[in-house]
Structures are given as structure tokens and as C-alpha cells.
């Protein structure tokens, strides 16, 4: 059963890895990397927040 | 996993307990509509998933179904359960689910309560082993999104569906991810753009600015050009902004000098204040109070300590004056010198005893000094934050007419900020004053050796109160900063209008806020880029789904669809699955397409063009194909009334599908309202020798379920006779004949028992011992009993097809003769 669960998990991770590999935009790459946990939308939202704050706080 | 048997009690139409045994290959259950046939498949759904698909697919008001699983005639305390035995990898496992009156479920595996089934993880990605008539067309007739979800579920691509849904959610509604300060920057720059667009003289700049980040360079070239026209000729580049500011200040200053300044707390300010509060609240603790109170002891020995210091000083000076008293200049005799030395040693010894106490006093005083320094800085930070803004309050008479009547809400916001911040600042000042008084009192008490725990407790209370007031002020600043800032922008704009410096005001802002403008464009680019992100994810998911439906699923479904379609059908048929595309050829998001052709021509919409029966057949084929695909713990398939709306020819075709499913190793449980068709299935699958139940009636207790023979013993004996007469019959045929005799003997035994003892028995678990017992109880001649029971010694092998089994024509002939003797007793 654990193996089966791991298989499912790895399939999910495979999809994300394949998706990330096909993305060139660094912002989108970061968002896909942030896709994790039980609430991936919130996780991606947090990453987008961080990206926007970085722009806001950038000094150069 | 295959089903061995099930007992249903108190569930749906089953009020009283009913038990059914299942053949490991094919079990048929025939019942007119509303006789509890579907309750059987629902019992398995409840057992395995805790919900029926009917309730699960209800799009609204699931409340309507609450409590509907339990039979209505049960009392609160009556048991409602489904208990089934499965054969899983050679071992039996008994699963039982009990449903309480409040719809709560308890699960038991082999008698022990469990939170989930041992194979729960394997169930997650497996297709549910049910083909239910109300679910057949579901996938085909629902909206695109539901259809996509359904296919994703069927094809084990739920993760893809989730990834896409989550990404779409982020990309279509990114508002939740935009921090307040980022939104403020965007709003401020938008307001500046609006002011710029309202100035016809600056239209050249506005035109470039509108183009966004890619035209930023041209925008600022245009800004520079406009600026040089408004400053004295020859002004150096670096002096343009100061020159513009000077021009503006001079013009605006004639009307009003003040500005409404109430900045939001920066991250640094917030961090500093939080750290201060954390420190301040950690000083006056119980250990500190204890330490402070202990200092009282220091007062009692103070005179000793003073004397020790005095003597120490005296001795030091005495060394320098060589025998003369350093205080009066008289000679110090030797005995007096010794006396002074001894007295000093005595006082010094006493002082050393209390050295720890002195150190503690030093620590307490240091803590109080740190407290004083820290709270002063903390207090000053909060005061300074609002000082400039509150200073402007005295200019209300000048400010008010600038805002009113046009900007009454902004003015109300400013007024409210004054009204709330002023008393909050005063309260903080008062609290701070009270705190410093309490601090002084504590310090004095130490100096005077009059320590009192009440002083420090009061100090702690004053400190807490002071921090509470400061926090309130901080909250008010955060609440009012944005509205005040907006009011200030209006003030600035109105002052520019009054002073005739609107163009200069806009140009100054463009120069001063270039970084903000760049950041705003960058932020917009990121947010706009989310559309592209969504497109990438849509195409990725679309391609995965396309691959699954067009190459894998289409072929599988077509295989089964080909089994059902008949030669007499009009040539209007399902032709495959695809994904819809845009005019550019991109895959449309979440659009699984069902294709159909009519005499070689593609139809626009399969769902609307295919007949009811064909949609039904297609839904059935999709369910079968997906059930056979992927990993699943279930080796069985429960098919509930599959042939509704079909004509006779399709019904016959479907029997072959059932047969193929069994041949592929699936245990099939087939339920139908159509008794005639079930008879055809039995005939079509005659050699499978499965189980056949008929629900013959229905009462409050539940359905009346009767087990029927798959074939009559007469038919079976005729077949045996035919095989024996066939001189070319091979080993397989002979084995089949022997298997038929086993079934006939079991059937005849229970028939005889019913006839002579009036009691029903199942022929399914009859073996040599059971047959002997039955026949003895029926008074059958001992010789015949011996002969009959003898048949089991080899027919069991025939049934289980053991490796050392060998068919023997003469033996089978003998068995057939003995079976015919039993027929005479039954009265055939």
C-alpha cells in the first residue's frame, strides 16, 4: 500500500517536474516550484506575494 | 479481490437480514424494478466507499439524502450493516460496515474496527468497480468541465486536473496574492497616470507612459523635454528637479505650506517596535520582583558595608602618610594600627558575605536603566510618527475650504484621523508619564533601602498599560495612513490647481517616482504574465489528456463498442475521443470531445447526435474500458441494469461482452430487471455455471430472494449424455461433463431435501459430507448414498481442475447412471 501511495505521489511530482521543465519564465518556474502541500493554491499565492514584494523592495 | 458472499441488513430496501453467495466468475440477479435490486449494488458502494454514487453525484441538496441509507422500518437501535467476504490474494477478508441512526459509519476488517480499509491506498486511483445505469451517460451529457473531471477521474489523471484547477484559480484571481503595499503602489502610480492624462500639455508623455515598460525610455525623454521648457534656459540636468521643486514650493507656499503626512509603518519600524515590546514585557517578571525584594536585606547591613569601605580607604591613606592619621594628622600608635587593621578585616569579612547582594542590586538597577532607555526610544518612535500630522491640525481653517465640498469624504477621513489620533497620543503620553513616575519610585526605594514589592508590581502594570496605549496608537496609524495619504495626494493636486503648477506638479512626481513607475510596470508584467502561465499549463494538461483519451482510451472503448454495435444499426456511431482546439490549433482547456460519424462523415456533436441507446452503450463501454485499465484492488465488476433502452439485437451482443469480461478474469455481478434477458445470459454463458438469483417478491422485511439453478439437472444430464456419446470428445469436454455431474448431484440433493424435509438449502457449498448427511436425512438407500458421495472424489478435482486430474469416460458414465438413480427419487 505504501508503495502504491509513493507511486501516486511520484506521478504527481513527475507531472510537476515535466511542467516545470517546459517553462522558461523564471516567475512561472518559481510558482510551479511552490506548488506543494495540502493547499497548493495558497502556497503559490504566497510565492506570488513574495515575488511582488521583492519587486516592491528592490533598490536598484 | 473477488466477492465470496454478502449479508445485508437494515440497508435501503433490506429491512431484515439477507445473504447471497457469489460465483467467482458470474452471478446474475434478476428482479422487476423497485424490488431491491439496486439496493444490492448500493450496499457494496456503502461498504467500500461510504457513499452511493447517486448521493455523490447529487449536484444540490445532499441534505435531502441524509439518513436515507438506513431502512425506514428500523428502530434507532436496530443494526444496519453490510458484511461481505472477499478473497484477496488467496486469503479471505471479511469487511463489515455499520451505519448508525446519525449516518455515522463504523468499519470492521476481520472483526476488528479500523479507520479505513487495509487496501484504502490502492482504492484511491482505482476506478470504482460499479457500472450503474444512472451513471452510464453521465460523462457524456454533462458540461465540459464536469466531463473533463470525470475523464480525469476515470483515467487516473486526477492530479493533472487538480494542478490545472489550482493554477487557473491563481491566474484568474490573483488579487488575494497582491500585498497591500504593492496594491498601494499600483494605485498611487495609477493616480499619477490619471493626473498626467488630464493635462493636455503633457499628452506626449502620457502617450508613451501608456505603452508601459517597453516605452519607459521614451517616456522619460519626453519628461526631460517638458521639464527643460519649464526651468530657466541652461539649467544643468541635475538641477532640473530642484529647480522645479523651488518653482512649485514658491507658488504653493503662498497658499499653504503644510502637508498631510502620516506614513504607514515601515517593516523596519514594525520590527523595532515588536522587538521593543517583547523586551519590555520580559523585564518585570516574578523572578525580577523576587530579586528586587531581596535587596531589603542590603539596607540592614548598609552601615557595616559603609564602615568596611571607610576602613579600607583609611588603611590605603595610612600607607601613604606612614604612621600618621590621614584624617587628623596625629600619630597612630602600633597597637592602634593593629586595632584599625583587625577592625577592617572584620568589616571586610562581613562585606564579602553580602557581596552577592550588592551585585544583585547592581543588576536590578541596570535592568531598570535598560527598561528606561528602551521605553523612551519606543515611546519617542510612536510619538514622532504622528507629531507632524497632528501639528497640521491647527491649520484646519485653511485646509477645510480646499477639500470641501468636492472632497467631503477625504476631508471626513482626515478629520476622523485627527479626532482619533490626538486623544490616542495624549493617552500614550499620560501612560508614559505614569510609568516614568513609577520607575522613579522603584529607583528611589532602592536608593533608600525601602524596597516594596507593590512598587514593582505597579511599575509592571504601568508598563503594560503604556504598551497597550502605544499599540492602540500604532493600530490607528495603520488604519488612517492610507486615507490620509490619499487626502494628501488630493491636497497636493488642489494646491497645484490653486497655484497654477499642475504641469510642474505632475512632472515633479514623474521625476521623483520613476522607480515606483518602473516597479508598477514590472508588477503589471508579472500579473499579466499569469495569463501566459495559465496557457502553458492548459496546453500541458490538454496534451496529457489528449494522449490518454485519443490513443489509449479510444482504442479500448472502440474494442468494447465494436462488441455491442450490430450490423443492422444505422451507420451513426461513436468514432473516438479528442480534445477541442482553437482556430489556431491550440488545445482548448478542459474540453474532451466525443466524436461520432454518420456514414463516413464527422458529426458536429456526438452527444446530441447519437441515439439514447448508443449513448448508453458508449457510456457502458467507457466504464468497462476504464475498469479494465490501470491498477485496481478489485477483481469484480457490479453491473446494474445495463441494457435499458436497447433493442433485442444489442441485448444479445452484450452477452458476449459479459462473457469476455469473465474470460479476462473479472468476476461479474450482473443485475437486471429483464428476466428474459437474464435467461439469455445464462444460456449464452451456459458453460460458466455461475450463480443465479431471482427476486420474486417484496415485503416490509425486504426482497424475497430465491436461488435458481443455472441450468436444470435435466439439461445438464442431457449434455453429459451427449458428451459421452461423442467419441471425439476431448479431455476438456469430459471434464466439463464431470463438472456437470457434480452440479447435478448437488442440485438433486437439495431438491430432494426440500421435497422430503421442506427446507431450502444452497447447492453451492455441497460437498461429499454434506451430500451424505442430506441423503441420510432424506432416508435414501445406503448403497446409493455411497455411490453418490463417491462421485465427489473426482468431480471436485474436475471442478477445481487440479494438475493430476484426468477425465475417464467409463467413470463418467457410471456417475451419470448413479445421478439418474437420484433423479428417480426426486421424481424426475
**B19 part of a folded domain:** yes
Please indicate, yes or no, whether residues B290 and B313 belong to a single structural domain of this protein: no
Please indicate, yes or no, whether residues B670 and B699 belong to a single structural domain of this protein: yes
Q: Which residues of B touch A51 (CB under 8 A)?
A: 526
Q: What is the DSSP letter of B324?
A: B
Q: Which residues of B touch A1 (CB under 8 A)?
A: 118-122
Using the Cβ of B526 and the Cβ atoms of chain A, whether some distance falls under 8 Å is answered with: yes
Grid coordinates of B618: 458508449
**B755 part of a folded domain:** yes
CB count within 10 Å of CB B722 equals: 12
Please indicate, yes or no, whether residues B362 and B485 belong to a single structural domain of this protein: yes
Q: Domain ends where: B498, B528, B549?
A: B498
Please indicate, yes or no, whether residues B696 and B729 belong to a single structural domain of this protein: no
DSSP secondary structure, B328-356, as one string: T--B--HHHHHHHHHHHHHHHHHHHHTHH
Indicate the residue of A1, A45, A56 with minimum beta-carbon distance to B182: A56
Q: What is the DSSP letter of B52?
A: -
> Which residue in the block uniquely carries the three cell numbers 479481490?
B1
Inter-chain residue contact B631 with A56, CB threshold 8 Å: no
Q: Which residues of A touch B117 (CB under 8 A)?
A: none
Using the Cβ of A28 and the Cβ atoms of chain B, whether some distance falls under 8 Å is answered with: yes
CA distance B621 to B449: 96
Is residue B695 within 8 Å of residue B36, measured between CB atoms? yes
Using the Cβ of A55 and the Cβ atoms of chain B, whether some distance falls under 8 Å is answered with: yes
Expressed as residue numbers, the domain containing B481 is: 267-296+357-498
Q: pLDDT tens digits for B593-606?
A: 888 888 878 887 77
DSSP secondary structure, B33-45, as one string: TTSSHHHHHHHHH
In the prediction, which pLDDT does A1 show? 34
Please indicate, yes or no, whether residues B397 and B446 belong to a single structural domain of this protein: yes
In the prediction, which pLDDT does B707 show? 87
In the prediction, which pLDDT does A4 show? 41
In the prediction, which pLDDT does A10 show? 64
Grid coordinates of B1: 479481490
pLDDT along chain B (828 residues), means of 10: 94 89 94 88 92 72 70 79 92 93 89 92 82 68 84 82 92 90 92 93 95 94 94 92 95 91 87 94 90 81 74 79 78 81 79 78 92 95 94 92 94 96 97 96 90 92 96 95 91 92 95 95 95 94 91 84 75 84 89 85 78 80 84 91 82 91 94 93 90 91 89 90 90 86 91 90 85 93 90 67 71 91 85
**B205 part of a folded domain:** no
**B536 part of a folded domain:** no
> Which residue in the block uniquely carries the three cell numbers 487626502?
B487
In the prediction, which pLDDT does A2 show? 38
Q: Which of B786, B757, B760, B783 is nearest to B772 (CA)?
A: B786
**Residues with Cβ within 8 Å of residue B695, at least 6 apart in sequence:** B29, B30, B31, B32, B35, B36, B37, B703, B704, B705, B706
DSSP secondary structure, B274-294, as one string: HHHHHHHTTTS-HHHHHHHHH
How open is the CA angle B321-B322-B325, to the nearest 5 degrees? Answer: 55
Is residue B127 within 8 Å of residue B155, measured between CB atoms? no
In the prediction, which pLDDT does B301 show? 72
Q: Which residues of A touch B166 (CB under 8 A)?
A: 35, 40-41, 44
Q: Please state the length of chain B.
A: 828
Using the Cβ of A10 and the Cβ atoms of chain B, whether some distance falls under 8 Å is answered with: no
Q: Which residues of A touch B179 (CB under 8 A)?
A: 49, 52-53, 56
Structural domains counted in chain B: 4
Please indicate, yes or no, whether residues B281 and B420 belong to a single structural domain of this protein: yes
**B481 part of a folded domain:** yes
The complex's ipTM?
0.91
Q: Domain ends where: B331, B353, B375?
A: B353
Indicate the residue of B160, B174, B519 with minimum beta-carbon distance to A55: B519
In the prediction, which pLDDT does B81 show? 94
In the prediction, which pLDDT does B54 show? 77
Is residue B239 within 8 Å of residue B511, measured between CB atoms? no
Q: What is the DSSP letter of B210?
A: T
Q: Domain ends where: B689, B708, B727?
A: B708
Q: What is the pTM of this model?
A: 0.62
Using the Cβ of B125 and the Cβ atoms of chain A, whether some distance falls under 8 Å is answered with: yes
Residues 148-177 of B with CB under 8 A from A: 159-160, 162-163, 166-167, 169-170, 174, 176-177
Q: Which residues of A touch B544 (CB under 8 A)?
A: 15
In the prediction, which pLDDT does B663 show? 92
Please indicate, yes or no, whether residues B422 and B287 belong to a single structural domain of this protein: yes
Please indicate, yes or no, whether residues B797 and B661 belong to a single structural domain of this protein: no
Please indicate, yes or no, whether residues B662 and B683 belong to a single structural domain of this protein: yes
Please indicate, yes or no, whether residues B288 and B307 belong to a single structural domain of this protein: no
Indicate the residue of B170, B176, B540 with minimum beta-carbon distance to A22: B540
Please indicate, yes or no, whether residues B415 and B282 belong to a single structural domain of this protein: yes
**B95 part of a folded domain:** yes
In the prediction, which pLDDT does A3 show? 40
Q: pLDDT tens digits for B121-167?
A: 888 778 889 887 655 566 777 888 888 888 887 777 888 899 999 99
Q: Which residues of A touch B182 (CB under 8 A)?
A: 52-53, 55-56
Please indicate, yes or no, whether residues B771 and B807 belong to a single structural domain of this protein: yes
Name the helix (H) or strand (E) containing B667: strand B667-672
Q: Which of B90, B25, B13 is nearest to B670 (CA)?
A: B25
Q: How far does A55 lie from chain B, in Å, by closest CA? A: 6
Using the Cβ of A26 and the Cβ atoms of chain B, whether some distance falls under 8 Å is answered with: no
**B673 part of a folded domain:** yes
Is residue B116 within 8 Å of residue B106, measured between CB atoms? no
In the prediction, which pLDDT does B324 show? 80
Phi first, then psi: give them for residue B498, nearest 5 degrees: -65, -35
Inter-chain residue contact B163 with A16, CB threshold 8 Å: yes
In the prediction, which pLDDT does B635 show? 94
Phi first, then psi: give them for residue B673, nearest 5 degrees: -80, -10
Is residue B469 helix, strand or coil?
helix
CATH of the domain at B768: 1.20.120
Q: Which of B692, B637, B691 is nearest to B664 (CA)?
A: B637
Mean pLDDT, range A18-47, rounded to an integer: 93
Scanning every residue of chain B, which has its alpha carbon at the shortest distance from the alpha carbon of A52? B523
Amino acid at each position: 500500500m505504501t508503495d502504491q501511495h509513493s507511486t501516486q505521489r511520484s506521478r504527481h511530482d513527475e507531472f510537476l517536474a515535466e511542467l516545470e521543465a517546459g517553462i522558461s519564465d523564471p516567475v512561472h518556474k518559481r510558482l510551479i516550484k511552490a506548488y506543494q502541500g495540502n493547499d497548493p493554491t495558497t502556497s503559490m499565492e504566497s510565492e506570488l506575494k513574495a515575488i511582488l514584494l521583492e519587486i516592491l523592495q528592490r533598490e536598484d | 479481490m473477488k466477492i465470496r458472499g454478502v449479508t445485508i441488513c437494515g440497508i435501503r430496501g433490506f429491512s431484515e437480514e439477507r445473504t447471497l453467495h457469489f460465483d467467482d466468475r458470474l452471478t446474475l440477479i434478476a428482479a422487476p424494478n423497485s424490488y431491491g435490486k439496486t439496493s444490492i449494488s448500493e450496499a457494496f458502494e456503502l461498504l467500500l466507499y461510504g457513499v452511493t454514487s447517486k448521493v455523490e453525484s447529487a449536484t444540490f441538496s445532499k441534505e435531502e439524502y441524509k439518513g436515507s441509507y438506513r431502512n425506514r422500518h428500523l428502530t434507532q437501535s436496530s443494526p444496519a450493516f453490510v458484511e461481505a467476504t472477499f478473497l484477496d490474494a488467496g486469503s479471505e477478508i471479511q469487511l463489515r460496515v455499520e451505519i448508525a441512526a446519525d449516518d455515522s459509519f463504523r468499519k470492521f476488517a476481520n472483526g476488528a474496527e479500523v479507520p479505513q480499509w487495509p487496501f484504502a491506498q490502492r482504492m484511491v486511483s482505482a476506478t470504482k468497480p460499479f457500472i450503474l445505469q444512472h451513471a452510464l451517460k453521465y460523462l457524456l451529457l454533462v458540461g465540459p468541465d464536469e466531463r473533463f473531471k470525470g475523464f480525469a477521474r476515470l483515467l487516473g489523471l486526477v492530479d493533472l486536473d487538480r494542478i490545472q484547477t489550482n493554477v487557473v484559480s491563481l491566474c484568474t484571481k490573483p488579487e488575494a496574492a497582491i500585498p497591500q503595499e504593492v496594491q498601494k503602489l499600483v494605485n498611487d502610480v495609477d493616480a499619477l497616470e490619471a493626473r498626467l492624462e488630464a493635462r493636455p500639455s503633457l499628452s506626449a508623455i502620457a502617450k508613451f507612459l501608456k505603452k508601459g515598460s517597453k516605452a519607459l525610455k521614451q517616456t522619460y525623454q519626453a519628461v526631460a523635454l517638458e521639464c527643460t521648457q519649464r526651468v530657466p534656459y541652461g539649467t544643468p540636468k541635475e538641477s532640473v528637479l530642484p529647480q522645479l521643486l523651488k518653482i512649485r514650493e514658491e507658488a504653493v507656499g503662498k497658499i499653504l505650506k503644510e502637508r498631510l503626512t502620516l506614513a504607514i509603518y515601515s517593516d523596519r519600524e514594525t520590527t523595532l517596535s515588536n522587538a521593543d515590546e517583547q523586551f519590555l514585557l520580559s523585564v518585570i517578571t516574578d523572578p525580577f520582583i523576587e530579586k528586587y525584594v531581596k535587596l531589603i536585606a542590603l539596607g540592614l547591613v548598609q552601615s557595616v558595608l559603609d564602615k568596611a569601605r571607610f576602613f579600607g580607604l583609611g588603611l590605603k591613606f595610612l600607607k601613604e602618610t606612614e604612621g600618621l592619621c590621614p584624617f587628623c594628622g596625629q600619630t597612630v600608635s602600633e597597637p592602634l594600627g593593629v586595632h584599625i587593621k583587625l577592625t577592617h578585616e572584620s568589616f571586610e569579612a562581613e562585606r564579602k558575605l553580602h557581596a552577592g547582594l550588592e551585585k544583585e542590586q547592581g543588576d536590578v538597577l541596570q535592568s531598570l536603566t535598560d527598561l528606561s532607555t528602551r521605553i523612551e526610544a519606543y515611546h519617542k518612535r510612536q510619538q514622532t510618527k504622528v507629531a507632524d500630522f497632528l501639528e497640521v491640525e491647527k491649520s484646519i481653517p485653511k485646509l477645510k475650504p480646499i477639500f470641501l465640498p468636492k472632497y467631503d469624504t477625504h476631508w471626513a477621513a482626515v478629520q476622523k484621523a485627527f479626532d482619533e489620533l490626538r486623544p490616542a497620543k495624549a493617552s500614550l503620553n499620560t501612560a508614559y508619564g505614569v510609568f516614568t513616575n513609577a520607575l522613579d519610585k522603584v529607583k528611589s526605594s532602592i536608593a533608600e533601602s525601602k524596597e516594596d514589592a507593590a512598587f514593582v508590581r505597579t511599575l509592571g502594570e504601568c508598563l503594560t498599560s503604556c504598551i497597550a496605549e502605544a499599540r492602540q496608537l500604532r493600530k490607528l496609524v495603520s488604519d488612517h495612513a492610507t486615507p490620509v495619504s490619499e487626502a494628501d495626494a488630493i491636497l497636493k493636486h488642489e494646491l497645484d490647481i490653486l497655484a497654477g503648477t499642475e504641469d510642474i506638479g505632475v512632472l515633479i512626481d514623474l521625476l521623483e517616482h520613476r522607480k515606483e513607475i518602473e516597479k508598477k510596470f514590472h508588477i503589471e508584467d508579472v500579473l499579466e504574465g499569469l495569463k501566459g502561465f495559465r496557457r502553458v499549463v492548459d496546453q500541458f494538461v490538454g496534451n496529457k489528456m489528449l494522449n490518454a483519451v485519443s490513443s489509449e482510451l479510444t482504442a479500448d472503448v472502440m474494442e468494447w463498442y465494436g462488441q455491442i454495435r450490430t450490423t443492422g444499426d444505422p451507420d451513426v456511431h461513436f468514432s473516438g475521443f479528442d480534445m477541442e482546439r482553437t482556430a489556431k490549433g491550440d488545445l482548448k482547456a478542459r474540453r474532451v470531445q466525443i466524436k461520432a460519424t454518420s456514414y463516413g462523415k464527422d458529426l458536429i456533436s456526438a452527444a446530441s447526435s447519437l441515439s439514447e441507446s448508443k449513448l448508453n452503450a458508449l457510456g457502458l463501454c467507457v466504464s468497462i474500458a476504464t475498469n479494465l485499465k490501470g491498477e485496481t484492488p478489485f477483481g469484480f465488476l457490479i453491473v446494474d441494469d445495463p441494457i435499458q433502452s436497447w433493442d433485442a439485437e444489442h441485448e444479445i451482443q452484450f452477452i458476449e461482452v459479459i462473457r469476455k469480461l469473465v474470460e479476462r478474469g473479472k468476476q461479474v455481478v450482473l443485475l437486471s430487471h429483464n428476466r428474459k434477458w437474464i435467461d439469455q445470459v445464462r444460456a449464452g454463458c451456459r458453460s460458466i455455471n455461475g450463480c443465479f438469483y431471482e427476486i420474486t417478491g417484496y415485503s416490509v422485511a425486504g426482497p424475497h430472494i430465491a436461488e435458481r439453478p443455472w441450468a436444470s439437472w435435466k439439461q445438464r444430464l442431457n449434455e453429459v449424455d451427449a458428451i459421452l456419446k461423442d467419441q471425439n470428445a476431448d479431455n476438456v469436454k469430459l471434464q466439463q461433463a464431470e463438472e456437470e455431474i457434480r452440479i447435478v448431484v448437488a442440485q438433486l440433493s437439495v431438491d430432494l431435501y426440500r421435497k422430503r424435509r421442506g427446507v431450502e438449502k444452497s447447492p453451492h457449498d455441497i460437498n461429499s459430507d454434506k451430500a451424505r448427511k442430506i441423503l441420510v436425512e432424506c432416508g435414501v438407500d445406503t448403497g446409493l448414498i455411497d455411490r453418490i458421495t463417491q462421485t465427489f472424489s473426482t468431480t471436485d478435482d474436475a471442478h477445481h481442475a487440479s494438475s493430476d486430474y484426468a477425465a475417464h469416460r467409463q467413470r463418467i458414465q457410471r456417475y451419470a447412471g448413479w445421478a439418474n438413480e437420484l433423479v428417480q427419487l426426486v421424481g424426475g
